[in-house]
Amino acid sequence: MAGKFITFEGPDGAGKTTVLKLVAEQLNEILGDQMILTREPGGNPISEQIRNIILDRKNTEMDVRTEALLYAAARRQHLVETILPALQSDKIVLCDRYVDSSIAYQGAGREIGEQEVADMNLFATGGLTPDLTLYFEVPVTVGLARIKQHRAADDVDRLDLEKQAFHDRVHSAYEKLAQENPERIRTIDATQPVEKVVNETLMILKQALNK
Ligand SMILES: Nc1ncnc2c1ncn2[C@@H]1O[C@H](COP(=O)(O)OP(=O)(O)OP(=O)(O)O)[C@@H](O)[C@H]1O
Ligand SMILES: Cc1cn([C@H]2C[C@H](O)[C@@H](COP(=O)(O)O)O2)c(=O)[nH]c1=O
């Protein structure tokens, strides 16, 4: 496969989605329809339906392994329906979250165990690993404050509502993933103003894509 699979990762409120959209606007001028923008959980009708179940604040009784399996199920459908066909057509896939999110949130945040969640995701992905991952790093308090400040109360999902200790575990897991995978994961200081984060992201992407 000659396409490139690039993921955007980080704790809640890091600014990934904001930056991804701004960067995609600029890359679109160079890449046009050779690039697709997608997200997890979601990216197609079936996975978006699974997303709604996972993030619904009413689903307070959801078991942690059920949650992990639902993320993996949404991922499998996304992979088959969206990611693989795009890569097979030599496209650049920019994806908001992927397996690292499950390792950080379900493995560490929910305390299922990072290795167990990674192993379970192997079944879903057949081992497809991103060519490059951009990790948007912010302290937990900064990310949560951004969400609180900017997001409408009814747009805060089931995971946003978790306690500080949960988000601390997620953050530590991302730090560990970045340390253990230095060739794949590039860390970006996402506490900087948006324009700076966008410029740094664009620089790394252009370098990776030889543009
Ligand atoms: N660098 C930044 N400085 C200040 N505010 C920012 C910055 N980046 C994003 N924001 C704001 O923070 C909020 C969260 O941003 P965004 O939704 O992009 O984060 P996210 O990483 O995708 O979060 P989540 O994973 O929870 O969806 C938004 O209101 C956005 O405008
Ligand atoms: C893919 C994935 C996501 N999550 C969490 C992370 C966020 O809290 C939500 C997704 O919302 P976003 O606004 O689109 O970032 O889901 C997770 O826990 N595990 C995963 O695999």
> How many distinct helices (H) and strands (E) make up the chain?
9, 5
Whole-angstrom CA distances from 12 to 3, 27, 143, 146, 194 are 28, 24, 6, 9, 16
Q: Please tell me the number of the ligand nearest to residue 41's CA.
A: 2
Tens place of pLDDT per residue across the chain (211 aa) = 579 999 999 999 999 999 999 999 999 999 999 999 999 999 999 999 999 999 999 999 999 999 999 999 999 999 999 999 999 999 999 999 999 999 999 999 999 999 999 999 999 999 999 999 999 999 999 999 998 887 776 677 777 778 889 999 999 999 999 999 999 999 999 999 999 999 999 999 999 999 8
In this structure, the residues whose C-beta lies within 6 A of any atom of ligand 2 are 12, 39-41, 71, 97, 101-102, 105-106, 159
Determine whether the annotation assigns residue 127 to a binding site.
Answer: no
Q: Give the number of whichever ligand sits closest to the CA of residue 136.
A: 1
pLDDT of residue 148: 84
Q: Where are the beta strands (DSSP E) in 16-68?
A: 35-39
Fold of 4-209: Rossmann fold (3.40.50)
**φ and ψ at residue 95, rounded to 5 degrees:** -125, 125
Number of residues in the chain: 211
Using CA of residue 43, residue 49, residue 51, residue 56, what is the dihedral sign? positive
The CB of 150 under 6 Å from ligand 1? The reply is yes
Nearest alpha carbon, ligand 1 atom 1: 194
Residue 146 Cβ contacting ligand 1 at under 6 Å:
yes
pTM: 0.96
The structural domains of the chain, with segments of one domain joined by +, span 4-209
Residue nearest to ligand 2 atom 2, measured at CA? 101
Which residues are CB-neighbours of 67 under 8 A, at least 6 positions away?
A: 54, 106, 110
